[in-house]
Amino acid sequence: MKRQEKNLIFTGANGRSSLMDICITSTASKGIVVFAHGYKGYKDWGAWQQIENYFLANEWSFCKFNFSHNGGTTSQPIDFPDLAAFADNRYSYELEDLHAVIHHINNLIEEKPPIYLVGHSRGGGMVLLLANHPQIKAIATLAAVADFEERFITGDKLIDWKKNGVFSIENKRTKQMMPHNICFYEDYYQHQEKLNIQGVLKALKKPKPMLHIHGKQDEAVNWENAAQIASWSMGEVLFLEEANHTFGSIHPWRADNLPADLEKACDSILDFFEKIKQQG
């Protein structure tokens, strides 16, 4: 028996509605893969649907979702029609969204399933913050950010951001100027203990199985981030020599198959998750 829903509405951070896609297979009680997109992303970007198809073909339940303040809406989830919501986003909201997604999954599946997290880029950093969640069985990251604090602008740009209350960056694909309110910066320091990836991972009483995958040709997040995360998580690390930040995916992605580097990454994640599942 399989239950599949597209654009299911859930309530995320600050009471804001967002969307998730979920496919629950007959083996859902054995585990579900939850995928978190990255900065300036959404669940339908690029080849993320092909990642879902890949895991479903290998008999895994799967969920992907939009972070509630990613700039999309429930009626227009693509390409950031709500820049006011994007401007109001903050790391603590994204962490709250992850908890909300897990809660929603638990309401859909009678027995709370083991959850296997996969996150790309900033989403990779976010899923690491859930390492101490008792329902999380294993985590895989793709081109993950190791430190949110070091991603902030500095110097005169930071001074201007604090003075003006907003900092904007161009989305080179859509040509939108995408604003960040100063609350994005301030929120990190208000919740630094739970948003510090190194601190969260080093505080784990027992290491959680993790696999960190990064492309050596990553133009957005240096591959050394993966080595740094692995040193804190005591997890496995895999470098793909020719892979870029999105592992060959672009938007829109019109092919049915995965890009070659992303397929390699998914093969490795699948093998890793299957091994963890077998260990019980």
| pLDDT confidence of residue 25 | 87
3-state DSSP: the chain helix, strand, coil percent, rounded to 5? Answer: 40, 20, 40
| pLDDT confidence of residue 213 | 99
- Which amino acid appears at position 132 of this protein? N
Q: Is residue 201 part of a domain?
A: no
Question: pLDDT at residue 280 above 90?
Answer: no
- Nearest partner of 235 among 131, 107, 163, judged by Cα: 131
Q: What CATH number did the domain enclosing 74 receive?
A: 3.40.50.1820
* Percent of the residues in the chain that have a pLDDT greater than 70, as a whole number: 100
> Whole-angstrom Cα distance, residue 207 to residue 198?
13
Model pTM? 0.98
Average of per-residue pLDDT across 175-202:
98
Q: Is residue 248 part of a domain?
A: yes
Q: Is residue 188 part of a domain?
A: no
- Nearest partner of 144 among 51, 255, 233, 16, judged by Cα: 233
Residue-wise pLDDT tens digits, 145-188: 999 999 999 999 999 999 999 999 999 999 999 999 999 999 99
Cα 209 to its chain centre, rounded Å, is 17
> Whole-angstrom Cα distance, residue 251 to residue 95?
25
Q: Is residue 165 part of a domain?
A: no
Residue-wise pLDDT tens digits, 45-64: 999 999 999 999 999 999 99
| pLDDT confidence of residue 103 | 97
Q: Number of structural domains, the chain?
A: 1
Question: pLDDT at residue 28 above 80?
Answer: no
Q: Is residue 171 part of a domain?
A: no
Ramachandran sector of residue 46 (left: φ over 0; alpha: ψ -120 to 50; beta: rest): left
Q: Is residue 179 part of a domain?
A: no
Q: Which domain holds residue 237?
A: 17-81+91-146+209-279
Q: Is residue 98 part of a domain?
A: yes
Q: Is residue 192 part of a domain?
A: no
Average of per-residue pLDDT across 196-203:
98
Q: What's the mean pLDDT when you consider all of the chain?
A: 96
The H-or-E segment that residue 198 falls in is helix 197-202
> Whole-angstrom Cα distance, residue 7 to residue 22?
8
